[in-house]
């Protein structure tokens, strides 16, 4: 079978386009327009901090439960979901805690993390979130491996997460959450994962 070849002709330039002067003037006019409408966009960081969009994916946090204890149950789904293998978890029994396990060690290596958020989406109990902090620097490599002691935020209450809630709601009712009135239903469904 013969190979079909599509020939695309180079568009021919008109007389004015061949002069190039109108195009140069047009470009200079656009530059001049921006010069006259100049608005400074520089942020004087760190004195001035820019407001971030609510869905910003910054450094991770481990939210607390109602008793301000770590909500994570060390299921390791986030570890499996991480495409860069940045998460390492060692679990331990948690008889005193109302759940089977909790993380003894929970580390995130920020030299590997690409802030994709897959770990947060994989978590079935809203025990991991992307936070709003972005200041990440260290004098050595070890300082870029954050332990749970660094990013556990006991006072951040874990309420119905948008993505997980949608998933659970869909599973429970065959419907996607799309109105604020469904919030109570989501709380009810997400509550099945709340550690006692």
Q: Report the interface residues with ligand SF4, using CB under 6 A.
A: 72-78, 81-84, 86-87, 89, 108, 113-119, 122-123, 125, 127-128
Q: Which is nearer to ligand SF4, 87 or 165 (CB)?
A: 87
Separation of alpha carbons 42 and 31, rounded Å? 19
What CA–CA distance (Å, rounded) separates 126 from 107? 17
Q: What are the residues facing 89 on neighbouring strands?
A: 106
Which CB, 125 or 160, lies closer to ligand SF4? 125
Report how far residue 115's alpha carbon sits from residue 147's, in angstroms, rounded to the nearest whole number.
Answer: 17
Closest separation between CB of residue 119 and ligand SF4, Å? 3
> Minimum distance from CB of 176 to ligand SF4 (Å)?
22
Task: For ligand SF4, give the closer residue by CB, 54 or 180.
Answer: 54
Question: Least separation, in Å, of the C-beta of 158 and ligand SF4?
Answer: 10
Nearer to ligand SF4 by C-beta: 71 or 182? 71
What's the CA gap between 131 and 110, in Å, rounded?
14
Summarize the chain as % helix, strand, coil (round to 5). 35, 15, 50
The least CB distance from residue 90 to ligand SF4, in Å, is 11
């Amino acid at each position: 079978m013969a190979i079909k070849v599509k020939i695309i002709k180079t568009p021919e330039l008109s007389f004015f386009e061949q002069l190039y002067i109108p195009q140069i003037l047009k470009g200079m006019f656009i530059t001049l327009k921006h010069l006259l409408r100049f608005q400074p966009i520089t942020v004087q960081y760190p004195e001035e901090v820019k407001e971030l969009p609510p869905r910003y994916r910054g450094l991770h946090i481990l939210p607390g439960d109602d008793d301000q204890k770590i909500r994570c149950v060390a299921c390791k789904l986030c570890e499996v979901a991480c495409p860069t293998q940045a998460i390492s978890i060692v679990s331990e029994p948690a008889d005193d805690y109302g759940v089977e396990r909790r993380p003894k060690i929970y580390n995130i290596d920020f030299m590997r993390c690409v802030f994709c958020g897959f770990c947060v989406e994989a978590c079935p109990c809203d025990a991991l979130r992307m936070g709003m902090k972005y200041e990440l620097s260290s004098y050595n490599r070890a300082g870029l491996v954050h332990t749970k002691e660094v990013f556990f935020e006991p006072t951040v209450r874990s309420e119905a997460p948008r993505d997980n809630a949608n998933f659970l709601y869909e599973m429970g009712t065959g419907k996607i959450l799309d109105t604020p009135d469904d919030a109570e239903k989501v709380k009810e469904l997400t509550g099945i994962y709340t550690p006692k």
